Amino acid sequence: MPSITVKGSLSLFAATLLSGCALVSPAEKAPVAYQCGASELSVLQQEQGLLLSYGAEQELLTQAVSGSGARYSNDNEPVTEFWSKGNEADITWRGQDMPLCVEQGALPKHFTAKGNEPFWQVAVNPQHMALTTPESEAIIDLKPAQVVSTQPYEWRIESTTDKHLIVIDRLCRDSMSGRLYPYQVDLQESDRMYSGCGGDSEWLLQGVSWELSEFEGHAIQSKPATIQFLEDNQLAGFNGCNRYFGHYNMGGELAQIRLTGSTKMACSDTANALSREFSDVLERVYQVNIDDKERLILSTRGGRQLVFKQEPR
């Protein structure tokens, strides 16, 4: 958050007296941000309950009975709910389940990472990492992750051996498969460092509706095509004429999108033609990228591209 500087302590003191307001108390709670896939939500504890903010919209929640963690919900239909469990939270926003939500500055409790040449792979939980190499497999005790930098976030996870992990909150592309991951992960062993990527590829795409912004010079309609990557590899969206659904797979060396059905609304010839072309390109996608403008770029082997931006909330 940008800071505001007032020149001169006398001016600040006078302004405070005139306003009749006290300076913000150090004990006043600040909002806590959560990254839920491609979406960001925040929570603020208030006397009346928990204020959950998503974009420009807000919901006030009251505490509910919970066997573990802190759970808040409202009585609206569809329901909104926040259930925190340590640095992670399950959030339902007006009936829509968000992907895993992780508090800003924290890592997911469980994640995997791997690198190539030489191959290595780790599965990490709060207590251990399972390290696999071509020569061996080992379960190694871990110490809690420590934040060593915040721009971008960087964590160091030390172990009880000479093997440690360095995790950076930076998009990472696998050097062999080309698959995109949310974290750069380096395995440090004594004085050697092995680079790799980690986290959940699907998580990068989930939690928002992506809106078509560029398609090979086509004029974008007032109601543009969209795509949503849902949990369980389900896909949904609007092709410019009809709602469609299908599934996706970011595993392996190629991204795969398959459309399995759509509604059957009548549209203009122009909208029909564009929707057919959009759907055809979508099913030929083999690579997913997110550029430095946070645009989603879906590419085919033939060089065709669909460019999306996050739909405004």
| 115, 210: one domain | no
Q: How confident is the model at residue 28 (pLDDT cuts 50, 70, 90)?
A: low
Q: What is the pLDDT of residues 284-299, one digit of tens each?
A: 999 999 999 999 999 9
Strands 192-198 and 183-189: antiparallel
Cβ(148)–Cβ(154) under 8 Å? yes
Percentage of residues in the chain having pLDDT higher than 90: 83
Q: Which domain holds residue 95?
A: 32-103
Residues 92-124: tens digit of each pLDDT: 999 999 999 999 999 999 999 999 999 999 999
Residue 15 counted as domain residue:
no
- H or E element in which residue 249 lies: strand 243-249
Is 11 domain-assigned? Answer: no
Task: Let me know whether 177 and 218 are in one domain.
Answer: no
pLDDT on residue 66: 85
Show Cβ contacts of residue 289 under 8 Å, excluding neighbours closer than 6 positions. Answer: 180, 296, 297, 299
- In this predicted structure, what is the pLDDT of residue 252? 67
Residue 220 lies in a domain: yes
Same domain, 66 and 149: no
Q: Give the residue from 199, 220, 241 where a domain finishes.
A: 199
Residue 194 and residue 246 share a domain: no
pLDDT at 9 over 90: no
Q: Is 147 in the same domain as 193?
A: yes
Residues 229 and 290 reside in one and the same domain: yes
Structural domain count, the chain: 3
Please write the tens of the pLDDT for every residue from 234-290.
999 999 999 999 999 987 668 999 999 999 999 999 999 999 999 999 999 999 999
Summarised one tens digit per residue, pLDDT across range 47-75 is 999 999 999 999 999 999 888 889 999 98
Whether residue 125 sits in one domain with residue 141: yes
236: its two tokens: 């949904």
Same domain, 208 and 123: no
**End of a domain among 181, 199, 217?**
199
Residue 195 and residue 120 share a domain: yes
Please tell me whether the overall predicted TM-score, pTM, comes out greater than 0.75 for this model. Answer: yes
Domain boundary among 142, 172, 199: 199
The answer to the question of residue 304 being in a domain is: yes
CATH of the domain at 83: 2.40.128
143 neighbors 157 (Cβ within 8 angstroms): yes
- Domain assignment of residue 271, yes or no: yes
Distance CA 183, CA 199 (A): 6
Residues 264 and 234 in one domain: yes
